[in-house]
Chain A
């Protein structure tokens, strides 16, 4: 097979009809462009979610307290006080548990510096920054000693720091919660908004003991954050926690719920995947339409160039040469269309990323798929016309008007 010669012939034929070649390619260009554009936008959004979830900590398990039922009204998870610090203590002894923090939450007015700010006051253990993958930018986290001594120490989020200490270093300053003075020992690294649009930096973290005995008076915690050794043992650890708590609570009915971040992530990304598949499906349809366009033009082209085919056969082209020539023309059309489409799709998503400030990911896999499938479309849609051309009789073809 004289592929090089066939490439040359096909190239010349396509150049002879530039406008038609371009219009024929348009279907593939739009199809591939739409695939690449939509996939890079949706995978950008998915990536953003994944980043946010991993900022919560990937191997983190959350134990929520139980469902509170009053008459016929059921309060849902977290409404009934069932979890205690002792539960947390028990969980901390389980295998593959590397960090644990009993969590209590309340919105409180916080005063400092003549300013005040309503924020989420969290009671946590010193493991909290580790579990949440959260650094302390200035100062340090409070210690186990602080937990044991119900110390009035606090670590504050960046938003609170900005609101209460606009122009100074908060570390070493005092804030007042419920009229109690708390010493600011650290400021958490800015973390931004979470999946649900809450400002994670708008928070004050104090030892859970101080929260439970000084700020409020309670014996139950809202939930318990547990970090497993890695994400492979997460399900095992979840099961062990469930078993241990069932025994401790001596209840047949489970009055708590155990969740991990991976599940959360899967729920959120599943929606976006579905959206992405939908878009890709629409784009795939336009690819098929593009392929039909190529087949149509190739069929017209074969009829129109019957005499040319006759001439080529007369000067020595074999049937296979003619077949390959038309196949290459079709594949060249779709492949060039595919490349232009990829460039267009990537360009479009980059433009969106730039002007709309949305994250996009250049989907390398999908680019490979687009190249392969556009070449395949070329072969499939070009084959029938090319085969038809190669079956022509040279004498009839020469005398075709």
Chain B
């Protein structure tokens, strides 16, 4: 591939100094992720995937090694510069949605633009916010508050918020962890559609079913990569939904 990687991790280490014992959470990870990829980072708890995620998301700095995000060496930046990188380059989707309560879907989506280095006019904020909501199929729910939306819809709002600053990378941390299986498939459908449009997605998950929707699986154990391979028999959300509905239909007929 001729293009530059979005993410270039070179021998990344992370050591936590907690009390008497040093915890070596990530032990020398090197990883290149190119534009248009859809990667699942997997591993059991304690495998270091959350730590890796935090570093990829510019929430934390590696203790050792280099991390180039879109060509910028993130491993040396200070707090403020990291905040700017998160604002411009990364869109976060969390397990618990993390929307602001008592705040409309549109206002939630507009929030990242309030922290842009270059001021975005209010009407432009509104346009971009509504456009992002359209992308996730919630154009008609702009005025709804999170408590008026279902879990799947809330996660879609969160995805719209992640997309609104046109990031280089969409970073999802267990995005389906709080959702039932049908909604999970719907959300994965949204991710697949976005990826088809060329958006690079990195997703942390511990569910193989969910990982199957991606294109590439990276499996960690004890802070190191043990498997890095393309996904075989990739699931397509549309087919999976169809299958699920048929199965549900069958259950109803049987009872």
Give A contacts to B, CB under 8 Å.
2, 4-5, 8-9, 12, 16, 307-308, 310-321, 394-395, 398
- Say which residue of A16, A308, A398 sits within 8 Å of B94 (CB atoms): A398
A12 contact set on B, CB distance < 8 A: 103, 107
Instruction: Apart from A315-B112, A317-B83, list 5 A-B contacts with CB within 8 A.
Output: A5-B119, A311-B100, A316-B84, A318-B79, A319-B80
A307 contact set on B, CB distance < 8 A: 98
In the bound complex, do residue A395 and residue B54 qualify as a contact, i.e. CB atoms below 8 Å apart?
yes
In the bound complex, do residue B54 and residue A315 qualify as a contact, i.e. CB atoms below 8 Å apart?
no
CA distance A315 to B111 in the complex (A): 8
User: 8 Å CB contacts to A: which residues of B187-243?
Assistant: none
In the bound complex, do residue A5 and residue B114 qualify as a contact, i.e. CB atoms below 8 Å apart?
yes
Q: Is B174 an interface residue (CB 8 A)?
A: no
User: 8 Å CB contacts to A: which residues of B47-93?
Assistant: 54, 57, 59-60, 79-80, 83-84, 86-88, 92
Secondary structure of the A contact surface, majority rule: helix
A258 to chain B, nearest CB (A): 72
B179 to chain A, nearest CB (A): 19
In the bound complex, do residue A312 and residue B59 qualify as a contact, i.e. CB atoms below 8 Å apart?
no
In the bound complex, do residue A2 and residue B94 qualify as a contact, i.e. CB atoms below 8 Å apart?
no
- Say which residue of B59, B79, B112 sits within 8 Å of A395 (CB atoms): B59
Most A Cβ at <10 Å: residue of B83, B102, B119:
B83
Most B Cβ at <10 Å: residue of A16, A314, A315, A317:
A315
B77 to chain A, nearest CB (A): 12
In the bound complex, do residue B59 and residue A5 qualify as a contact, i.e. CB atoms below 8 Å apart?
no
Question: Known: A5-B114, A8-B114, A307-B98. Contact between A316 and B54, CB under 8 A?
Answer: no
Question: Known: A311-B98, A315-B92, A316-B86. Contact between A394 and B59, CB under 8 A?
Answer: yes
B8 contact set on A, CB distance < 8 A: none
- Say which residue of A8, A9, A311, A318 sits within 8 Å of B83 (CB atoms): A318
Give B contacts to A, CB under 8 Å.
54, 57, 59-60, 79-80, 83-84, 86-88, 92, 94, 98, 100-103, 107, 111-112, 114-116, 119, 161, 165
In the bound complex, do residue B161 and residue A315 qualify as a contact, i.e. CB atoms below 8 Å apart?
yes
B161 contact set on A, CB distance < 8 A: 315
CA distance A310 to B97 in the complex (A): 13
Task: Please give me the 5 A-B residue pairs with the lowest Cβ-Cβ distance, nearest first.
Answer: A316-B87, A315-B112, A316-B115, A5-B114, A16-B102
B112 contact set on A, CB distance < 8 A: 315-316
In the bound complex, do residue B111 and residue A312 qualify as a contact, i.e. CB atoms below 8 Å apart?
yes
Most B Cβ at <10 Å: residue of A5, A12, A307, A314:
A314
A317 contact set on B, CB distance < 8 A: 83, 87, 115
Which chain B residue has the least Cβ–Cβ distance from A308? B100
Question: Known: A2-B114, A5-B115, A9-B114. Contact between A314 and B57, CB under 8 A?
Answer: yes
A319 contact set on B, CB distance < 8 A: 79-80, 83
A4 contact set on B, CB distance < 8 A: 119
CA distance A46 to B176 in the complex (A): 73
A304 to chain B, nearest CB (A): 11
Which chain B residue has the least Cβ–Cβ distance from A17? B102
In the bound complex, do residue B115 and residue A321 qualify as a contact, i.e. CB atoms below 8 Å apart?
yes
Which chain B residue has the least Cβ–Cβ distance from A5? B114
B122 to chain A, nearest CB (A): 8
A2 contact set on B, CB distance < 8 A: 114-115, 119
Question: Known: A12-B107, A16-B102, A320-B80. Contact between A312 and B86, CB under 8 A?
Answer: no
B72 to chain A, nearest CB (A): 14
Question: Known: A320-B80, A321-B115. Contact between A315 and B59, CB under 8 A?
Answer: no
CA distance A181 to B88 in the complex (A): 103
In the bound complex, do residue A316 and residue B83 qualify as a contact, i.e. CB atoms below 8 Å apart?
yes
CA distance A58 to B214 in the complex (A): 93
B84 contact set on A, CB distance < 8 A: 316, 318
CA distance A320 to B116 in the complex (A): 13
